[in-house]
Chain A
Amino acid sequence: MKLFSKADIKGGVHHRLHFIKSVYKYRGLLLMLLPGILFFIIFHYIPMYGVLLAFKDFRIMDGIMASPWVGLKHFQKAFSDPYFLQVFKNSLLISIYKHVWGFPAPILFALLLNEVINQKFKKLVQTVSYLPYFLSWVVVAGMFINILSLNGPINAIISILGFKPRLFLTDPTHFRSILVITDIWKGFGWGSIIYLAAISDIEEEMYESAYLDGANRFQRAFHITIPSLAPVIVIVLILSCSSILNAGFDQVFNLYNSMVMDVSDIIDTYVYRKGLLDMDYSYATAVGVFKSIVALILIIGTNKAANKLGGKGYGLW
């Protein structure tokens, strides 16, 4: 996936005269671009400037500019706050669990689905597997709250088997597993699309000649299908690495409760409560900035690593 090429970045001003001429020549196109650029300035770059809040004691009457500078005070406060460290740890843990279990799930599903010969059944499973992705976390959380409740079907099965019913969603020992499982439930089908597409792009002749050489189905899967998926797997991995601190705001927010706060409160829910409910704007911004910077470092780092390990063209840029 090349979002843009090297030429995109290097292109630009060589000769001033040439430049002015081409601006005039392409004025129509530049005018079309104007609203978009204004949008990105207003709704992305101005909030980036708002990051300054993190280094100030924000007073709403004074605005961002006139509020007094306080340096790294809010960052120091965050790092000396055991609760922030807990929230940071939760974000990392939940996200790592989700990656470890959730990353291979769609790949495995795509590989196995590809081996299904009955086309109608294959299509049915495939279609159904995408559906949960199109529902909001409010809806999905609502369903699972129902299913996991004391008199829901899971507990019905547990009591039929002779065990004691459990309150899954208020039990800190189960909560993170529930986050991981519901996340996989919602996303595995959708996540598999990209792999299924890549599989369908593999040339038929490769399989045919492997077959003639005596390779069985497992050998064909291991020597043709999986290696052909490697570039796609790397790209998806890079993209997901950048979101390692995104433990899933929508999901956690809709599933958590006061009983499981210690294991489920993540950076994003913490920022929301501190910033918008407690109106501790500067502190919440500082926590958010810390998260964004870590994410930025991660994506640049993984992209570099991908280009180095896999050769040019593996990274996003």
Chain B
Amino acid sequence: MKMVILKKSASEKVFDILNYVFMFLIFLITVYPFWNQVVTSLSEGYSAYLTGMLLWPAKISKKAYEMVLGYSLLWTGFKNSIIRTVLGTLISLVFTSLTAYPLSKNKLPLNGFFTGMIFFTMLFNGGLVPNYLLVKRLGMLNTVWSLVLPGMIGAFNVFIMRNFFKSIPESLEESAMLDGAGYFRIFLAIILPLSKPVIATVALWVAVGHWNSWFDGLIYITDKNKILLQIVLQKIIIENNSTNIQEIMQRLQSNERSNYTGRQLQAAILLVATVPMIVIYPFIQKYFIKGIRMGAIKG
């Protein structure tokens, strides 16, 4: 509300104060879990167990980070997750936009049939086992294709792009057509350059999805060299897999080792893995908001 509020009643003032307090609490509750990881990861040895360690580490040590950064499986995971995200996003964008553009033309024969067919996949699916068996039959187990192809085109993204393409004035295309351009030329030279906002939005959605996705990595990838970052995290943090923690700890001197419990390591590895997301987050945030408005409200 940009409107100037001239005077406030007493109850409105009380409400304002309570509201600010409430919002500040929301802010704290959202930020604290991250901060807790920072404090834990920077704590030395058993000081991670002191109850005073709520806001600041009792004794600061960078040891956990040194150990975690020397852990090769983490870097393998990073590499594979980056490959998956970049490849998956590129392929998704190409094929989602290629699918959405024809569907934005009402005159396209069988448009209704194809649209319905794609829409139905939002309502019903075969479920876990048939999907797994298909990927297995296609020989994609332990390849990046098992992570990239099954989710290549999402129905929702198709409709968001289609709605955007529809909003582009048809006169632009008509004049290009008079100049002898075919649909593919028009798509590349006119439609795509005009559609940067929607493409950026879908790209970010897809990329975040790939980066955070782990279940497909769990069921389709068994080869240790192809492990994803999220699976590395899961093994160390959730399953609390002692062999993995031991592996990281082996780098420590034996007397120091007894002082570390894995708790700091878990926090450190979690933060290291989250850093890329937190660093790019402020830049991508505004696109997400734009995208959701475009797709959900204006569409």
Binding site for B on A (CB under 8 A): 1-4, 7-13, 19, 22-23, 26, 28-30, 32-33, 35-37, 39-40, 42-44, 46-51, 53, 109, 112-118, 121, 124-125, 127-132, 134-136, 138-139, 141-147, 151-153, 156-157, 159-160, 185, 189, 193-194, 197-198, 201, 204, 207-208, 211, 216-218, 232, 235, 242, 249-250, 253-254, 268, 271-272, 275-276, 281, 284-285, 288-289, 291-292, 295-296, 299-300, 317
* Residue of B20, B98, B127 touching A47 (CB-CB under 8 A): B127
How far does the alpha carbon of A285 sit from the alpha carbon of B121 in the complex, in Å? 17
Give the interface segment out of B59-67, B68-76, B129-137, B246-254. B129-137
| Chain A CB within 10 A, most for which of B123, B125, B130 | B130
Q: Which of B1-26 contact A (CB under 8 A)?
A: 1-3, 5, 8-9, 11-12, 15-16, 19-20, 22-23, 26
* Residue of B119, B125, B270 touching A4 (CB-CB under 8 A): B119
B289 within 8 A of A: yes
B221 within 8 A of A: no
| Min CB–CB distance B187 → chain A (angstroms) | 7
Asked if residues A50 and B134 are in contact (CB atoms below 8 Å), the reply is: yes
| Chain B CB within 10 A, most for which of A40, A136, A285, A295 | A136
Assuming the contacts A47-B126, A198-B297, asked whether A26 and B23 have C-beta atoms less than 8 A apart, the reply is no
* Residue of B15, B30, B129, B297 touching A281 (CB-CB under 8 A): B129
11 A-B pairs besides A13-B109, A50-B134 with CB distance below 8 A are A11-B106, A29-B108, A30-B108, A32-B98, A32-B184, A40-B153, A47-B126, A117-B16, A156-B54, A275-B132, A295-B123
B172 within 8 A of A: no
4 closest A-B pairs by CB: A50-B130, A47-B126, A36-B99, A288-B127
Count A-B pairs with CB separation below 8 Å. Answer: 304
- List 13 A-B residue pairs with CB atoms under 8 Å apart, sorted by A's residue number: A22-B107, A23-B109, A30-B109, A36-B96, A40-B121, A115-B16, A117-B5, A121-B20, A130-B285, A139-B273, A146-B266, A153-B53, A292-B127
Task: With CB as the reference atom, state the residue of chain A lying closest to B121.
Answer: A44
Asked if residues B109 and A26 are in contact (CB atoms below 8 Å), the reply is: yes
Binding site for A on B (CB under 8 A): 1-3, 5, 8-9, 11-12, 15-16, 19-20, 22-23, 26-27, 29-34, 36-37, 40, 48-49, 51-54, 95-96, 98-99, 101-103, 105-119, 121, 123-134, 149-153, 158-159, 182-184, 187, 208, 211-215, 219, 230, 233-234, 237-238, 263, 266-267, 270, 273-274, 277-278, 281-282, 285, 288-289, 292-293, 295-297, 299
* Residue of B37, B270, B289 touching A197 (CB-CB under 8 A): B289
How far does the alpha carbon of A313 sit from the alpha carbon of B208 in the complex, in Å? 31
With a CB–CB cut-off of 8 A, which chain A residues contact B30? 128-129, 131-132, 185, 189
Asked if residues A48 and B126 are in contact (CB atoms below 8 Å), the reply is: yes
With a CB–CB cut-off of 8 A, which chain A residues contact B101? 29, 32
Q: What is the predominant secondary structure among interface residues of chain B facing chain A?
A: helix
With a CB–CB cut-off of 8 A, which chain B residues contact A112? 19, 22-23
Asked if residues A51 and B127 are in contact (CB atoms below 8 Å), the reply is: yes
Asked if residues A281 and B133 are in contact (CB atoms below 8 Å), the reply is: yes
Asked if residues A139 and B233 are in contact (CB atoms below 8 Å), the reply is: yes
* Residue of B29, B107, B131 touching A185 (CB-CB under 8 A): B29
Asked if residues B266 and A33 are in contact (CB atoms below 8 Å), the reply is: no
With a CB–CB cut-off of 8 A, which chain B residues contact A11? 106, 111-112
How far does the alpha carbon of A142 sit from the alpha carbon of B187 in the complex, in Å? 45
Assuming the contacts A50-B129, A136-B212, asked whether A129 and B26 have C-beta atoms less than 8 A apart, the reply is yes
Task: With CB as the reference atom, state the residue of chain B lying closest to A194.
Answer: B296
With a CB–CB cut-off of 8 A, which chain A residues contact B289? 193, 197
Asked if residues A275 and B1 are in contact (CB atoms below 8 Å), the reply is: no
